Amino acid sequence: MSPHPHRDPERLIPQPVRLTPQQAHQETGDGQAVLLDVRETAEWKSGHAPGALHLPLSRLIAGAALPASAQGKPVVTICRSGHRSQQAAELLAGRGVEATDVTGGMTAWARQGLPVTGEGGGSGVIA
């Protein structure tokens, strides 16, 4: 008998796998997947990963569609610390998108020495 008799394992929605910043950089850097930054606009403008697309979690929750260049591709979500991106990945997975997120977010991304660009293309900071 199952240790959880009221749970049907076939009905459980699998949780998206989380990536390290290095794994996310590799997967999105070669075009296998799209990096989607779900932070708010001011955070995005301060500093983001080069090549990332931007769609705040608040807009995603409100029903906004993925940017056209992200549609039909695996999506890796990222935020400042990993909490909002995990919510976004779960929301997208619920919509049928192949989605995962980055553990530690942009804070961990920058700490690992991965590139961060600001508005206008100069060096960025994580706000």
User: Which residues form the catalytic set?
Assistant: 79
The letter for the amino acid at 22 is Q
Contact predicate 82/13, CB 8 Å:
no
Place of tokens 């940017």: 67
Q: How far apart are CA 65 and CA 82, in angstroms?
A: 21
Place of tokens 């459980």: 12
